[in-house]
């Protein structure tokens, strides 16, 4: 993108211009990802625990009666995700935001484009 947007004629100056701006973009993106990863890198997964007494023996038709002695609890398991998984999640989230914005604009302008083309 920086190559086509640059108006510099000399090739070496154009390459230097591209390297400077690309380095700046990488520093900003990687620092934003690193800082957000430090604070948002945990995933909380909901779990439904069912604890039963394992000493009871029951036949296949007595399964519903055997679960009367069980206790259920809703908990959340917290795990730390790796950096590549975190980056994929962030890119997916940002991609959905762009999709929502641009798909709505595209659906609205498509009939107008078809009428103008006709």
Q: Over the chain, what HEC string results?
A: CHHHHCCCCCHHHHHHHHHHHHHHHHHHHHHHHHHHHHHHCEEEEEEEEEECCCCCCCCHHHHHHHHHHCEEEEEEEEEECCHHHHHHHHHHHHHHHHHHHHHHHHHHHHHHHHHHHC
How far lies 8's CA from each of 26, 32, 104, in Å? 22, 30, 37
pLDDT 10s digits, 32-63? 999 999 999 898 999 988 887 665 555 555 55
| Average pLDDT of the chain to the nearest whole number | 83
Full-prediction pTM beyond 0.75? no
Residue 71 pLDDT: 81
Residue 36 pLDDT: 93
Mean pLDDT score, 8-19: 80
């Amino acid at each position: 993108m920086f190559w086509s947007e640059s108006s510099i004629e000399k090739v070496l100056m154009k390459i230097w211009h591209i390297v400077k701006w690309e380095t700046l973009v990488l520093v900003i993106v990687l620092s934003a990802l690193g800082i957000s990863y430090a604070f948002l890198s945990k995933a909380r997964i909901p779990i439904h625990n069912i604890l039963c007494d394992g000493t009871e023996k029951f036949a296949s038709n007595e399964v519903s009666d055997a679960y009367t002695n069980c206790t259920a609890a809703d908990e959340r398991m917290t795990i730390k995700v790796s950096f590549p998984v975190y980056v994929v999640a962030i890119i997916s989230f940002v991609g959905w935001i762009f999709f929502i914005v641009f798909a709505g604009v595209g659906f609205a302008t498509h009939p107008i484009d078809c009428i103008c083309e006709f």
